[in-house]
Amino acid sequence: MYCSWQGASEADVICHQLGYTGASNFSRAGLTSYGTDTNQMIIDDVECANRNYLTLLQCSFSTYIDSGCINTNSYDATVYCCKK
């Protein structure tokens, strides 16, 4: 998902968007936990100024994907959400 990702606020917003109360943890090492996938990265440079946002569309992000981020799972992230 990210090549440049801040962390805690963005994780909370992802969980809110999925219907959870927030994130309990996050990791930038999704690759080591869950293996690889074939999905392309679609957003980069995600920054959520407010952890109470309800969707990533409220955050700033770029749809330009740096060539160093294409075709790699090295930047996958894992978010653990709190129960509803």
For the chain, the domains span: 8-81
Mention every residue, 6+ apart, whose C-beta is less than 8 A from residue 49: 9, 59, 60
Partners of 47 in the beta sheet?
A: 60
Enter the pTM of the model: 0.77
- pLDDT, tens digit only, all 84 positions of the chain: 444 556 889 999 999 999 999 999 888 765 566 666 677 777 778 899 999 999 999 999 888 877 666 666 666 778 899 987
Distance between CA atoms of residues 58 and 35, nearest Å: 29
23: left (phi over 0), alpha (psi -120 to 50) or beta: beta
The reported pLDDT for the residue numbered 7 is 83
At the second CATH level, the architecture of 8-81 is Roll (3.10)
Alpha carbon dihedral 45, 46, 49, 52, in 10-degree steps, equals -170
